[in-house]
Amino acid sequence: MEFDKPVKRSVANSNPSKRFASVPKESIEGKDQLERINFYLEPQFGTISLDEAEDLFRQRLKAMSIILENHDVKSQEASSINHMLKAVKSDLFPTNCVSSLLLNLEQKRLDNISHFLARMYFAFQPECEAYRNFERRFLEIRLRELDCFSGQRLAHILEYFGFEYELASLEEIAELAKERYVNWTSPIDVKSTGNIFKVKFEHAIKFIARRSVGVKDGYALLTVKEIVSVICDAFDQHIEKSLVSARRALSLNPNVQHLYEGLDLVYKEFKESETERLRKLKQVQSGEGNPHSLDMSNIEEIVKQHYPPCMRYIHESLRQDHHLRHQARLYYITFLRNCGVDLDTSIEFWREEFTKKIPNDKFERDYKYNIRHLYGKEGQKKAISSFTCEKMIKDNPPGPVDKHGCPFKHFDDTHLVSMLKKHNLEQHNIDSILLAKKNNDQVDACCKYFKYTKGKDPSGTIRKPVQFYYESMHISTSETTN
Ligand code: SF4
């Protein structure tokens, strides 16, 4: 990236308490990232029906549920973030306002209304904190999606929020690095470091307390990632204050009573359906009492029809070699457990295959304990849940004789193409999967694989192989019963 010359910005308002004063519309026009993102500094005026208001509020609740449910997805995990946003978008098309391709003012307006409805409602709810977390996180991932994490775009947002800042020049960055004002590993590659923002130290107290940034002449020196966090903090403070003022203003206002009661009904209904959905999800993940428990008497057919590629590869390797090394066994035993295979059936399955190569007493001694342990019958007696895609993608890469891992991450293109052909995928679908792999987006590749093999998108982002299995089973059962 080319660096700008040192840019001095005049301060619109350096008083933090006034950072959210209204900004004249003209001052943000022409800055596309601002046109695409709502910062919810001012409410929308106009009239909508109660039904519309309830519908918009319902959509906001859905977004909140998706984002809070994926709270463990880190903002650096681009593919998981993208999939999470896809889920928000597909559920929330009318209000999502996160499209990076189109500028849709109607979406932006609806998004703004849904935000203010939720803000008004949660001001009086014990879930107020969760709501704030959601809005902060939502802003963070929207900034990320719009690629605002870089350069000038971010600078416009800082201006919008009234921050006093400067962009450090290339020479200055090199100088600061030499003096170790910035906590970079030395020697740094100044050219690829990206923009460094100098902001007043009081905006960066949390980084200073961690000693993760340098301070010079009253200014903290922040990288792009840190500056995004500062913006999100400022936004969060704004939401916190506005919740307090909403509480004060609205509790005295009898006119909002009717609207509030309507939203309250929507929220209670939503909460009930969410509790039921999470109960079912937990049941699926634990494999207990699930209607789609894996029928081992028909396993070969099920493998072909319903297994994700990672587990199918492990299963076929087991059938071929009558053995699997530790990591693949760990993945497959826990997968089978979460697919509803009980302990005795599982032990017999592994015994049948392993004893084609080793004596039964060796199996009893070296392998059976391990299966019982993973089922929570030995050691600390805590059953191990099946692994997530993220873990399988990031875990130790498989060596030449290992069978664990994610094919969309660990297979080379030739190997992957041959597997996909064997699974009867057409060439244009294979090309599309290869493109996702090239973009290092394994989850997208897997969702595509699901769609091309089942004829339907999965209902949400695939985060666990066991989810792939259940979704596939669910589709085939619904097709049979319809
Ligand atoms: Fe398996 Fe997940 Fe990779 Fe799909 S993305 S193949 S489910 S590890």
pLDDT, tens digit (0-9, with 9 covering 90-100), for 198-234:
888 888 888 888 777 777 788 888 888 888 888 898 8
* Predicted local confidence at residue 209, as pLDDT: 81
Residue to mutate (ligand 1; options 330, 409, 446, 470; most atoms within 8 A of CB): 446
Cα(334) to centroid of ligand 1, in Å? 15
* Predicted local confidence at residue 300, as pLDDT: 95
Cα 79 from Cα 382, distance rounded (Å): 31
Q: 310 CB less than 6 Å from ligand 1?
A: yes
* Predicted local confidence at residue 404, as pLDDT: 95
Cα 271 from Cα 250, distance rounded (Å): 23
* Predicted local confidence at residue 273, as pLDDT: 87
Q: Is the peptide bond before 16 cis (omega within 30 degrees of 0)?
A: no
Residue nearest (by alpha carbon) to ligand 1 atom 1: 310
pLDDT, tens digit (0-9, with 9 covering 90-100), for 73-93:
555 555 566 666 666 665 554
Q: How far lies 156's CA from each of 31, 100, 129, 235, 283, in Å?
A: 7, 17, 29, 15, 47
Q: 405 CB less than 6 Å from ligand 1?
A: no
Cα 309 from Cα 418, distance rounded (Å): 12
- Closest residue by Cα to residue 392 from 456, 310, 272, 454: 310
Output the six-digit token pair for 162: 């009234």
Cα(395) to centroid of ligand 1, in Å? 13
Task: Please count the other Cβ atoms lying within 10 Å of the Cβ belonging to residue 58.
Answer: 17
Output the six-digit token pair for 202: 């009081």
Tell whether pTM > 0.75.
Answer: no
- 307, burial (CB in 10 Å: exposed 0-12, middle 13-18, buried 19+): buried
Q: 389 CB less than 6 Å from ligand 1?
A: yes
Residue to mutate (ligand 1; options 312, 468, 469, 472; most atoms within 8 A of CB): 468
DSSP string, 321-384: HS---HHHHHHHHHHHHHTT--HHHHHHHHHHHHTTTS-HHHHIIIIIHHHHHHTTSSTT--PP
Output the six-digit token pair for 219: 């200014």
* Predicted local confidence at residue 18, as pLDDT: 30
Cα 340 from Cα 284, distance rounded (Å): 9
- Closest residue by Cα to residue 131 from 3, 245, 260, 236: 236
Cα(143) to centroid of ligand 1, in Å? 27
Q: Are 318 and 446 in contact (CB under 8 A)?
A: no
Residue nearest (by alpha carbon) to ligand 1 atom 2: 389
Output the six-digit token pair for 41: 């500094």
Backbone angles phi, psi at 194, to 5 degrees: 90, 180
Which letter does DSSP use for residue 423 in this model?
Answer: T
Task: Please count the other Cβ atoms lying within 10 Å of the Cβ belonging to residue 263.
Answer: 23
Q: 458 CB less than 6 Å from ligand 1?
A: no
Cα(78) to centroid of ligand 1, in Å? 16
- Closest residue by Cα to residue 37 from 122, 107, 118: 107
Cα 350 from Cα 323, distance rounded (Å): 9
Task: Please count the other Cβ atoms lying within 10 Å of the Cβ belonging to residue 467.
Answer: 23
Q: 82 CB less than 6 Å from ligand 1?
A: no
Q: Chunk the chain into consecutive blocks of 10 residues (it has 482) and report each block's average pLDDT, rounded to whole numbers.
A: 30 32 33 64 81 88 82 57 63 48 66 89 93 90 68 76 80 72 52 73 83 78 83 90 87 79 93 82 60 86 96 97 96 94 95 95 94 92 89 90 95 96 96 92 92 87 88 80 56
Q: 462 CB less than 6 Å from ligand 1?
A: yes
Map tokens 């997530």 to a residue: 388
Which ligand 1 atom sits nearest the alpha carbon of residue 449? 4
